[in-house]
Amino acid sequence: DAGITQSPRYKITETGRQVTLMCHQTWSHSYMFWYRQDLGHGLRLIYYSAAADITDKGEVPDGYVVSRSKTENFPLTLESATRSQTSVYFCASWGQRNSPLHFGNGTRLTVT
């Protein structure tokens, strides 16, 4: 099915562990984004990518790593998870700026 898929939908991990959230899109969109959503903060941009092998920091990049070796995939890694990274994470893709952003259904991450 065409679209943008995030996995897993739910994840519980312990403080200090490494965890990777996956994002896959089938449109061959150039741009991909990772946002986190927290109560009172709306959606905050973590990292984004304009194309394969091109990534850039967003508003809240500390503690996160991204890679984009293929256009369709944009994994987000928490190198050493902290409780403050408990959040809902959304991946999105974008063909061009005068078109809407397409969102995945999110990953709810709990760090204990």
Partner 1 sequence: AQSVTQPDIHITVSEGASLELRCNYSYGATPYLFWYVQSPGQGLQLLLKYFSGDTLVQGIKGFEAEFKRSQSSFNLRKPSVHWSDAAEYFCAVVPKFGNEKLTFGTGTRLTIIP
Query: Which range, of 12-20, 68-76, 78-86, 104-112, touches partner 1 by CB under 8 A?
Result: 104-112
Query: Which range, of 20-28, 61-69, 72-80, 98-106, touches partner 1 by CB under 8 A?
Result: 98-106
State both tokens at 39. 């109560």
DSSP reduced 3-state for 85: helix
Determine, following the binding rule CB under 8 A, whether residue 90 of this chain makes contact with partner 1.
yes
Residue 33 or 64 having the CB closest to partner 1: 33
25 Cα distance to chain centroid: 12
Beta strand 107-111 with 10-13 is parallel
Site string for partner 1, 20-59 (x = CB under 8 A): -----------x-x-x----xxxxxx--x-x-------x-
Residue 44 or 67 having the CB closest to partner 1: 44
Candidates 1, 2, 62, 97; binder of partner 1 (CB under 8 A) is: 97
* Helix locations, 7-109, DSSP H: none
Determine, following the binding rule CB under 8 A, whether residue 2 of this chain makes contact with partner 1.
no
3-state helix vs strand vs coil in the chain, percent to 5: 5, 55, 45
User: What is the dihedral angle through the alpha carbons of 4, 7, 11, 15, rounded to the nearest 10 degrees?
Assistant: -90
